[in-house]
Amino acid sequence: MSLLDKFMTIYGRAPTASASVPGRVNLIGEHTDYNGGAVLPAAIERRVEVALSPNGSFTTSIQSTRFNGRIERPSGDQKRNDWTDYAMGALWKADKLGWLSGGVDLFIDSDVPDGAGVSSSAALITAILRAAAETAGVGADPVDVAKHARSVENEYIGMPCGIMDQMAVGLARPGSALALNTRDLSFEVIDIPSGWRFVVIHSGVRRELADGRYKARFEECQNAAEALGTDALCLLSSAQQEAVDTLTDTLRKRALHVTSEHLRTLQASSAMKASDLDTFARLMNESHRSYAEDFEASTPEIDALVTDALDSGARGARLTGGGFGGCIVVLLESHLEQDWTTAFLNRHPGTWQV
């Protein structure tokens, strides 16, 4: 059944607009996006699709294939720490932009897992904003939509994220990666070499960015930047780099991760364009070590999966996403993908391919 048919079955009429947005996996460049650095995310095949229509009331009705039942919330409702907050936040922003007002009937059809570090929330918010713009007859620029989507996370949800996820889901396509400079939002879409395969595997450890640990890392980076006299921790002068050693041990390690991760990401983008798998894989592995040891955002379960992935023939492997659970991303030579993935999942019950 099509998205249109599903909406009509639920609400008894056709939607005014619909949109489809992919999830994303970050290949390298973790926690650099809010520190002025480079990132290299890629779109995945899984998608969030939405259909919506104003309903002439002051109540928004939300139904999703990922959750049971229909949820109704008053227009303009504040955050409730519920999964529907992301939808309500997107509608709140659409109202502020003049794209939608009042109650909305909304249907969400998604196979992007939540709590997995593959940007289900950014994809949902972006899809709703696109559909709202279509309803209003507005030709919204993808970069502007990404900025609006980020403001939903920052202002409505209260998550101090950067703009990587929103740019990635809005501009990348499956089979490509987005080399993004988060300082000025310049970007390049790079085709992933045909002999490479990135396999995304959920660890089975659910990741909750709202539990405070992501925010703590954000604040540590902000404190390090303030102590060094910069607003972009990834872009330190020579004198500022020398001053990193004067920071407290925690802030020093956070600064070491984001500054080195920025450089690794630039090198990884060049390696991908040159089809240099060896260099890209090495950078992924160095990235995970830095993420686990200096940024302290991994878990024992994740580290064990990364180690086994490399020991069993993967060229590169690392934790991806905001940290503390979720997914690993593994780089394989394409001819190994099917057999390697099957064997790996069989060895690790409770994991699954995203």
Closest CA to 163 of 151, 155, 174: 151
Tens-digit pLDDT profile for residues 286-308: 999 999 999 999 999 999 999 99
Q: What is the pLDDT of residue 208?
A: 62
pLDDT at 116: 76
pLDDT score for 212: 84
pLDDT of residue 114: 82
Q: Does residue 195 contact residue 124 with C-beta atoms inside 8 Å?
A: no
CB 310 within 8 A of CB 285: yes
User: Tokens representing 295?
Assistant: 């940024």
Q: What element of type H or E holds 2?
A: none
| Integer Cα distance of 290 and 300 in angstroms | 15
CATH number of 3-191: 3.30.230.10
C-alpha 327/C-alpha 245 separation (Å) is 32
Distances in Å between the alpha carbon of 110 and those of 18, 107, 168?
13, 10, 17
Q: What residue spans in the chain does CATH classification 3.30.230.10 cover?
A: 3-191
Euclidean distance between CA atoms 48 and 220, whole angstroms: 33
How do strand 104-110 and strand 59-64 relate by DSSP bridges?
parallel
Active site residue 231: no
Low-confidence ranges of the chain (pLDDT < 70): 207-211
pLDDT digits (tens, 9 = 90+) for 86-102: 999 999 999 999 999 99
- The segment(s) of the chain belonging to CATH 3.30.70.890 are 196-353
Residue 10: CA count within 13 A, CB half-sphere: 24
CA 262 from chain center: how many Å? 17
Strand runs labelled E in 257-326? 316-320
Q: What is the DSSP letter of 143?
A: H
Residues belonging to the chain: 354
- The three-state secondary structure class of 72 is strand
Q: Which of 33, 85, 114, 165 is catalytic?
A: 165
Residue type, 72: E
Q: Is 252 helix (H, G, I), strand (E, B) or coil?
A: helix
Residue 161 CA: distances (Å) to CA of 155, 207, 210, 249, 251:
10, 15, 11, 24, 19
SS3 for 165-199 is HHHHHHHCCECEEEEEECCCCCEEEEECCCCEEEE
CATH T-level fold of 196-353:
Alpha-Beta Plaits (3.30.70)
Instruction: Return d(Cα 154, Cα 304) in angstroms, integer.
Output: 33
Looking up tokens 């992919």 gives 22
The helix or strand, by DSSP H or E, that contains position 31, with its residue range, turns out to be none
